[in-house]
Amino acid sequence: MFVENGTDDIEIESAHGRLLDAVNTIIACLAVLGNGMVITVMLLRQRVFSSFTNRLILHQSIIDSVAGVVFFVWKVVLLNILTPMSLKGTIYDQLMCRFIYTDVPFWCLSVTSTYNLVMISLERFMATCYPVKHRNCGSSARLRIAMGTTWAIGFIYGPHLTFLLEAGREGCQMTQMEIGLKIFATSVAMVIEYLVPITILIYTYSRITIKLAKKSANPMYRPRINMNEAKKNVLVTTMLIGLMFVVCWTPTVVNHVRSFITGIKGDLLYAIATSLVSCNTFVNPIIYCLKYEHFRLELRSLFIRRCRRNQVEDGNAIPMPAAAPRMNPNLAVQTL
């Protein structure tokens, strides 16, 4: 009886594992393909997408595409090819628990992506509320500083995750800490991962909305507002990106607090929350295609040009050397 129940549990767990692998593979593919499309369009149209905001958006897509690859490697490839933990607390078990099961590289990239969103919101805030300062400060050096800051925050914050879990007789479990240290670690994680970004996003976009509302009410600004529909479109796009950050990250924070209160890691809930955070890597290209008019026009232009080129290169088309004599009979005589 016990053997049968154990077999059923193993089969159910295996089915859940295969389903989760399939879902994570789809998420990773969407992240790489979607962000790859954004990177391709913006690199082929560098002159069109040369603004500070668009370069940060390009940087966002690069981060998210790398995060998609890392997510696939860590959550699908490594978990299937590496030998399972022995539950004896060996060095191999500790390495598996602290570096593989904690998904350290993925969380480093996720935090980097989060703070790149913060940089985009701050840039839009400066452009809308302090346009003169924005024009004076929008240099390539400051752009590199902004990008470097996002990577620094992500990779300085991430390694602390290796100390939160340890290998034991029950598998990968939360490290035993004093209550004060546990409260401190949980508070830092919540502040850096969630509270600071969401506070900045809410503040900047609220100020932007209030500023635009005041300009709309003032007749002096109405002609200028009508001329800046493109900037409004960028603003709406970035606000939607910030909203999706809240949707994707909130369950992770809730699960983190639950783990702190109960002391139980909860592998399934953690896997679901991590997969939801990974969804934030592919939703941005969808938003660009649906709401970012400028990006959509350039994407359509590249697609149409590619289709026309394929038509010209079709085998039914007349090659240029053969077409030349038909266009010029005298040339045909000379060539003969």
pLDDT tens per residue across span 48-91: 888 888 999 999 999 999 999 999 999 899 988 887 777 777 88
The residue among 167, 184, 188 whose CA lies nearest residue 265 is 167
Domain tally for the chain?
Answer: 1
Q: Is residue 178 part of a domain?
A: yes
Position 222 scores a pLDDT of 52
For 196, the domain range is 2-300
Position 107 scores a pLDDT of 92
**Residue 168's domain is classified under what CATH number?**
1.20.1070.10
Positive or negative, the Cα torsion across 231, 237, 238, 243?
positive
Q: Is residue 106 part of a domain?
A: yes
Give the C-alpha separation, 13 to 156, whole Å: 35
The pLDDT confidence band at residue 3, using thresholds 50, 70 and 90, is: very low
Antiparallel, parallel or unpaired: β 165-168 and 171-174: antiparallel
The residues, any chain, with a CB within 8 Å of residue 57's CB and separated by 6 or more, are 38, 42, 49, 120, 288
For residue 69, CA distances in Å to 3, 111, 310, 315 come to 39, 16, 31, 38
Q: Is residue 140 part of a domain?
A: yes
Q: Is residue 70 part of a domain?
A: yes
The pLDDT confidence band at residue 312, using thresholds 50, 70 and 90, is: low
> What single string gives the DSSP state of each residue in 77-88?
IHHHHSPPP-SS
The pLDDT confidence band at residue 106, using thresholds 50, 70 and 90, is: very high
Compute the average pLDDT of residues 221-239. 66
Rg (CA), the chain: 26
Position 319 scores a pLDDT of 45
Q: Is residue 123 part of a domain?
A: yes
**DSSP H or E segment with residue 166:** strand 165-168
The residues, any chain, with a CB within 8 Å of residue 147's CB and separated by 6 or more, are 56, 59, 116, 119
pLDDT at residue 171 above 80?
A: no
Q: Is residue 310 part of a domain?
A: no
Q: Is residue 324 part of a domain?
A: no
For 268, the token pair is 């399934």
Q: Is residue 314 part of a domain?
A: no
